[in-house]
Amino acid sequence: KQEVTQIPAALSVPEGENLVLNCSFTDSAIYNLQWFRQDPGKGLTSLLLIQSSQREQTSGRLNASLDKSSGRSTLYIAASQPGDSATYLCAAVDDKIIFGKGTRLHILP
Amino acid sequence: GAGVSQSPSNKVTEKGKDVELRCDPISGHTALYWYRQSLGQGLEFLIYFQGNSAPDKSGLPSDRFSAERTGGSVSTLTIQRTQQEDSAVYLCASSLVRELFFGEGSRLTVL
């Protein structure tokens, strides 16, 4: 049974810092790994999708990596901004889609 | 529409009443998912539709919950005899090739 864990559960960093969010999964037989952000009271917005054959994806200040052999994905946010404050969730995609509980990120102005 | 649309955005109901939540997926997306997110909790899988295949209902928490998808498009999640523990945000997502796109959710409050 797939389990997805995100560490840390919460993170506060000063504006401008680079940061890394971690996602680990127990079953490496995944199809995709998808990262989302969720603002309070809102739905989930897709940030990056990494297919199982890929190692990383980049979009603007965001870079996501995938290491299936170790069951890990990381989301790197460069030059953080207060607008990046949100909850970030990862999802392991196979026949089922299993979400982690998320990392609540707060960027301090 | 361009994205996944859910209605109502907010629903307040009394314990014991039935509610229906609607999801209109992105046009052409063959897969549709329902999730539940309770306050401060992660996403709980409820049900998954893929094309004309039988839905995966393994996440439905009780027989008070049911869902249907008509014509491979719009889906309705029905909760009968609502209980206070059903209060949550119900999120719908659709996908074509296993990349999920979510709606804004329906917030259900059971008094």
Alpha carbon distance A31, A46 (integer Å): 16
**Per the structure block, which two tokens stand in for A39?**
């603002």
Chain A residues close to B41, C-beta within 8 Å: 101
Over residues B77-98, mean pLDDT: 94
A49 at the B interface (CB within 8 A)? yes
Over residues A17-30, mean pLDDT: 94
Q: Write down the pLDDT at residue B52.
A: 86
Q: Closest partner residue to A97 among B100, B103, B107, by Cβ?
A: B100
- C-alpha distance from A45 to closest chain B C-alpha (Å): 7
| pLDDT range class, residue B1, cuts 50, 70, 90 | low
Chain B residues close to A102, C-beta within 8 Å: 42
Query: What percentage of chain A reaches a pLDDT higher than 70?
Result: 100
| pLDDT range class, residue A95, cuts 50, 70, 90 | confident
